[in-house]
Amino acid sequence: MKRLLLIISIFIAALLSACNGGSSSTPPVSLQSITVTSNDNVTVLGVRQAFVATAHYSDGSDAIVTNSAIWSSSNPEIATVSTIATKTGVKQVNALNAGIATPVAVGQTNISASLNGVSGTALLVVSPAVLVSINPVTAPSLSTPKGVTQQFTAI
């Protein structure tokens, strides 16, 4: 009987040792990369463009991190980008505005999102605004006598 208990004890000890003492040891999940995307990477002066930051983790999972990333523009003279997080952790703007690029001048700039030392970038091209149409002209009166001036307003 003692011999059987000894064999069972050795078997259980070997089994627990092979299983790392009964606890599983999984590696910690780490941030691998960030992808920065937008519906359209081309905009015109006066039209803001929203960007989204997606984090990709070592376990294969993804997460939207737009509101927790630190956003920046490589050329703020072309476009600025709003952020809510800073390196010091101070919130700067409303979370609904994070990742919004505001064109300032015609040109190109890289819009970047960084989180825990990992960054992703997307190109933003700012084009000049082009006049597409003018709405019908309005005037207080539809007829004007000869020799009388009339003020018109184009909208």
What are the tens digits of pLDDT across the range 48-89? 999 999 999 999 999 999 988 999 999 999 999 988 755 554
Asked if pLDDT for residue 117 goes beyond 70, the answer is yes
Residue 10: pLDDT above 50?
A: yes
Q: Token pair 């009964």 is at which residue?
A: 22
Ranked by mean pLDDT, the top range of 23-37, 66-80, 122-136, 140-154 is: 66-80
Written as six digits, the tokens of 39 are 């519906």
What is the 8-class DSSP label of residue 39? S
Query: pTM of this prediction?
Result: 0.66
Determine the average pLDDT of the residues in 18-41: 80
